[in-house]
């Protein structure tokens, strides 16, 4: 499933396609939404952003279209007169000034008043989005020290969307590696410097994944891997999916574990157990 950076990049593409334009056509597959379609004609798409793995299309009357791609949903952008070549099932189509954005195969779509988004059954359980909500290092440190999170092992905690929205499996491995922390470490046990390093890694690795289309590796390490003929799957990450390969720092072989029912990759020397 795409993680926060991929969802935000998808939101950016839909934003570029529709934002600042007035809707000419609106179509919904879902009966409860279909009755609202006509009321959106003539409304301007004011912005498209994301919260975790959910995409939020905002209209100038204060309403927001919530959509979650889950495993199979995908937005396709196209000219209004040219149907995308796909066998997927159409769920939403928005057309503004000849430009169209069509959502296929998603099942979780709803229309909300912006001021009521906090009541959404999914969004209400999420922590702040690392790319949308302007989280600072200080705020991230404070959140990690919150009573709900501070005594939990980082291997499971980082996947908890109540902590920060958008961190998934590859980000978890990469964040812990660049923070130099074992998955069993707990925020409560970290000195202030280590906590600040963790908070910084959370923000920096997530931002790099967004800026570089999923690449979280250091540029020099990635370039060295490319020169050796490594595939993108290998060179894009520092540790994720690199089990059995040498650590870029110490050359110890990367190990794979199952933590919180998900695979996690660790350098046993750079990330020694607490």
CATH of the domain at 69: 3.20.190.10
Q: Are 171 and 154 in contact (CB under 8 A)?
A: no
Report d(CA 231, CA 116) in Å as an integer.
Answer: 45
Q: Are 77 and 13 in contact (CB under 8 A)?
A: yes
Q: Are 251 and 231 in contact (CB under 8 A)?
A: no
C-alpha distances in angstroms, 257 versus 27, 93, 243?
A: 45, 42, 9
- Is there a catalytic annotation at residue 262? yes
Report d(CA 273, CA 35) in Å as an integer.
Answer: 56
**Residue tagged 């931002």 (tokens):** 207
- Overall number of domains in the chain: 2
- Is there a catalytic annotation at residue 2? yes
Residue finishing a domain among 95, 125, 155: 125
Are residues 148 and 89 part of one domain? no
Q: Are 61 and 22 in contact (CB under 8 A)?
A: no
User: Which residues lie across from 101 on neighbouring strands?
Assistant: 77, 94
- 52 by DSSP, 3-state: which? coil
User: Which pLDDT value is given to residue 1?
Assistant: 62
Report d(CA 156, CA 260) in Å as an integer.
Answer: 5
Q: Are 196 and 217 in contact (CB under 8 A)?
A: no
Q: 217 is in which domain, residue-wise?
A: 137-266
DSSP 105: S
**Who's near 4: CB < 8 A, 6+ residues apart?**
50, 52, 53, 129, 130, 131, 165, 166, 167, 168, 171, 206, 210
Residue of 8, 53, 236, 242 marked catalytic: 53
Are residues 189 and 223 part of one domain? yes
Tokens of 66: 């919530």
* Dihedral pair phi/psi, residue 76, rounded to 5°: -120, 135
Residue finishing a domain among 80, 100, 125: 125
User: Which pLDDT value is given to residue 69?
Assistant: 87
Residue finishing a domain among 77, 92, 125: 125
Tokens of 129: 């989005």
- pTM tops 0.85, yes or no: yes
Taking alpha carbons only, the member of 66, 75, 104 closest to residue 17 is 75
**Residue tagged 């499996």 (tokens):** 169
Residue of 256, 262, 263, 268 marked catalytic: 262
* Dihedral pair phi/psi, residue 245, rounded to 5°: -100, 155
Ranges under pLDDT 70 in the chain: 1
CA 206 to chain CA mean position, Å: 8
Residue 53 lies in a domain: yes
User: Which pLDDT value is given to residue 2?
Assistant: 77
Report d(CA 175, CA 206) in Å as an integer.
Answer: 8
């Amino acid at each position: 499933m795409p993680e926060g950076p991929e969802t935000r990049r998808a939101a950016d593409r839909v934003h570029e396609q529709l934002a600042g334009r007035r809707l000419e056509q609106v179509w919904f597959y879902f009966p409860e939404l279909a009755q609202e379609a006509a009321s959106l004609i003539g409304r301007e798409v004011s912005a498209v952003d994301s919260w975790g793995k959910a995409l939020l299309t905002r209209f100038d009357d204060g309403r927001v279209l919530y959509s979650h791609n889950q495993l199979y949903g995908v937005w396709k952008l196209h000219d209004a007169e040219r149907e995308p070549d796909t066998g997927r099932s159409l769920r939403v189509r928005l057309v503004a000034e000849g430009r169209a954005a069509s959502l296929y195969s998603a099942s979780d779509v709803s229309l909300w008043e912006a001021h009521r988004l906090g009541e959404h059954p999914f969004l209400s359980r999420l922590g702040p989005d690392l790319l949308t909500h302007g989280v600072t290092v200080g705020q991230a440190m404070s959140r990690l020290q919150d009573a709900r999170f501070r005594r939990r092992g980082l291997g499971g905690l980082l996947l908890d969307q109540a902590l920060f929205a958008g961190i998934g499996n590859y980000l978890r491995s990469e964040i812990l590696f660049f923070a130099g922390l074992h998955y069993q470490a707990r925020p409560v046990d970290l000195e202030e410097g280590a906590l600040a390093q963790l908070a910084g890694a959370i923000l920096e690795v997530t931002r790099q994944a967004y800026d570089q289309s999923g690449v979280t590796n250091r540029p020099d390490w990635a370039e060295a891997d490319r020169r050796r003929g490594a595939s993108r799957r290998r060179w894009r990450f520092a540790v994720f999916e690199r089990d059995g390969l040498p650590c870029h720092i110490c050359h110890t072989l990367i190990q794979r574990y199952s933590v919180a029912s998900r695979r996690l990759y660790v350098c046993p020397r750079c990330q020694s157990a607490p």
